[in-house]
């Protein structure tokens, strides 16, 4: 059985004080949730204080990015060990915004995934097609390439702990989403690729969806057997909305 995972990606939002306030409120709202794994990914600057706040709670901590080297002269970068040391158990890798604005590629994502695993972090690997690729019916081809290139060289044990996030770029921050059937079809396809790459791993891997998730559409998505959770951007910034998403099954 795969435990569902709901992630709040706060992106470049919230000061330390704002982040602390939000996490305190979230802790209360979702204290009795046991069926969903809850993860928040704040900015680097808030990780330390949030880690103190969520100790003994059901909230897990993740970073939004790492560099692949362990230490050295890499001005402005943060290493996987530092992220683990500040209390994170997860890290987002290859988010489309990193690919779009910071020129990350499948190759750099692959290096970061390996470095994350080595430091004991679980990578959440983001894949997804652009609007142009969707219009040109290239979605499946692109996803296959991204999965294969991002995971190249990963040992079977590592491959089973990775989380895949399918985030169609045209759905991020636009209010548009694929239908739950379309997402299910792509997640099933990702599982099939996994099955071709690794023996007996595909059924263990969690594949979550991201892109304009809100408290109205989440339950439809979560009905599907291959949708194992959500990666939530803007709707995770409002505690009330985010906790409603986490507790979707009660509404």
Which active-site residues does the annotation give?
95, 167
> Taking CB under 6 A as the rule, does residue 176 contact ligand 13P?
no
CA–CA separation, 221 vs 208, rounded Å? 10
Binding test (CB under 6 A) with ligand 13P, winner from 22, 127, 232, 246: 232
Tokens of 150: 């991002």
Q: Of the ranges 106-114, 132-140, 152-160, 165-173, which one interacts with ligand 13P (CB under 6 A)?
A: 165-173
Cβ-defined contacts of 19-26 (< 8 Å, 24+):
19/43, 19/46, 19/49, 19/50, 20/46, 20/49, 20/50, 20/53, 22/237, 22/239, 23/50, 23/53, 23/54, 23/59, 24/53, 25/239, 26/59, 26/239, 26/242, 26/243
Binding test (CB under 6 A) with ligand 13P, winner from 104, 167, 184, 228: 167
> Taking CB under 6 A as the rule, does residue 215 contact ligand 13P?
no
Binding test (CB under 6 A) with ligand 13P, winner from 22, 121, 154, 235: 235
> Taking CB under 6 A as the rule, does residue 213 contact ligand 13P?
yes
Q: Looking at beta carbons, which residue is closest to ligand 13P?
A: 233
Q: Of the ranges 74-82, 109-117, 210-218, 242-250, which one interacts with ligand 13P (CB under 6 A)?
A: 210-218
Cβ proximity to ligand 13P: between 178 and 211 the closer is 211
């Amino acid at each position: 059985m795969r435990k569902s995972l709901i992630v709040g990606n706060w992106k470049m939002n919230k000061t330390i004080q704002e982040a602390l306030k939000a996490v305190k409120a979230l802790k209360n709202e979702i204290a009795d949730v046991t069926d969903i794994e809850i993860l928040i990914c704040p900015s680097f600057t808030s990780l330390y204080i949030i880690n103190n706040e969520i100790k003994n709670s059901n909230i897990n901590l993740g970073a939004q990015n790492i560099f692949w080297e362990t230490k050295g002269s890499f001005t402005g970068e943060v290493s996987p060990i530092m992220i683990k040391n500040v209390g994170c158990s997860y890290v987002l890798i290859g988010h489309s915004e990193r690919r779009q604005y910071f020129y990350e590629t499948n190759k750099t994502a692959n290096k970061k995934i390996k470095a994350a695993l080595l430091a004991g972090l679980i990578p959440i690997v983001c894949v997804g097609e652009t609007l142009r690729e969707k219009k040109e019916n290239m979605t499946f081809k692109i996803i296959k390439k991204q999965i294969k290139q991002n995971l190249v060289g990963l040992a079977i044990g590592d491959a089973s702990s990775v989380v895949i996030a399918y985030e169609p770029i045209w759905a991020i921050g636009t209010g548009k989403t694929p239908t739950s059937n379309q997402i299910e079809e792509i997640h099933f396809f990702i599982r099939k690729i996994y099955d071709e790459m690794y023996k007996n791993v595909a059924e263990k891997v969690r594949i979550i969806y991201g892109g304009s998730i809100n408290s109205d559409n989440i339950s439809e998505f979560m009905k599907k057997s291959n949708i194992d959770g959500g990666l939530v951007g803007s709707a995770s910034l409002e505690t009330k909305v985010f906790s409603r998403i986490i507790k979707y099954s009660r509404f």
